[in-house]
Amino acid sequence: MEQNNNQEENNPSREKPFLRKYWWMVIVLIVIVIVIVLAGLGAVNHARKKHNQKSIPDVAYSPASIPTIPATSASAITSPPPNMIGINTHTELYSGTGADQDLITLGPKVDSYSRSQPYPSKRGFEFELDSKAPLLAPMDMTLTGFQNNSIEYKIENGQRIAPVNDLMLSFESDSPDWPGVVIMLYHLYTSPLIPGHYQNSDCGDIEIGSNKFQSEGHLFFSYDDYTVSPKNNAEACQALIGRKVKRGELIGYAGNVGEHSFASFCFKVPDNSISPIVKKGNRNLHWVQPASFFYWKSYSPDADFPSGVLAYPFEIDGYQLPAEQRDANFKYTSKK
77-106: pLDDT as tens digits: 999 999 999 999 999 999 889 999 999 999
Same domain, yes or no, for 120 and 187? yes
The answer to whether the beta carbons of residues 282 and 56 sit under 8 Å apart is: yes
129-175: pLDDT as tens digits: 999 999 999 999 999 999 999 999 999 999 999 999 999 999 999 99
pLDDT at residue 119 greater than cutoff 50? yes
Name the pairing type of β-strands 296-297 and 310-311.
parallel
pLDDT at residue 52 greater than cutoff 80? no
pLDDT category of residue 40 using cuts at 50, 70 and 90 = low
Same domain, yes or no, for 92 and 19? no
Average pLDDT over residues 269-278: 97
The string of DSSP codes covering 131-146 is: TT-EEE-SSSEEEEEE
d(CA 174, CA 336): 14
In a domain, 47, yes or no: no
Determine what percent of the chain is predicted with pLDDT higher than 70.
Answer: 82
Same domain, yes or no, for 10 and 65? no
In a domain, 50, yes or no: no
Burial 101-119 (b: 16+ CB within 10 A, else e): eebbbbbbbebebbeeebe
In a domain, 56, yes or no: no
What is the number of structural domains in the chain?
A: 2
Model pLDDT, residue 27: 73
The answer to whether the beta carbons of residues 138 and 183 sit under 8 Å apart is: yes
Average pLDDT over residues 250-262: 97
Nearest to 132 by CA among 249, 255, 250, 251: 255
Same domain, yes or no, for 114 and 263? yes
Same domain, yes or no, for 83 and 113? yes
Same domain, yes or no, for 27 and 94? no
**Mean pLDDT rounded to a whole number for the chain:** 88
In a domain, 192, yes or no: yes
Which residue segment(s) compose the domain that 186 sits in?
Answer: 61-326
pLDDT category of residue 30 using cuts at 50, 70 and 90 = confident
* Neighbouring residues of 94: CB distance < 8 A, sequence distance ≥ 6: 113, 125, 126, 127, 128, 291
Q: Which residues pair with 270 in a beta bridge?
A: 285
pLDDT at residue 51 greater than cutoff 60? no
Model pLDDT, residue 211: 86
In a domain, 100, yes or no: yes
93 phi, psi to nearest 5 deg: -95, 0
Residue 57 vs residue 105, higher pLDDT:
105
pLDDT at residue 274 greater than cutoff 90? yes
In a domain, 260, yes or no: yes
Question: Exposed, middle or buried by CB within 10 Å (0-12, 13-18, 19+), for 188?
Answer: buried
232-241: pLDDT as tens digits: 999 999 999 9
Same domain, yes or no, for 22 and 145? no
Model pLDDT, residue 63: 53
Same domain, yes or no, for 71 and 22? no
In a domain, 309, yes or no: yes
pLDDT category of residue 9 using cuts at 50, 70 and 90 = very low
Average pLDDT over residues 277-283: 97
Cα→Cα distances 54→58, 219, 224, 243, 269, Å: 11, 11, 12, 22, 22
Model pLDDT, residue 115: 83
In a domain, 228, yes or no: yes
Angle (CA) 305 309 313, round 5°: 95
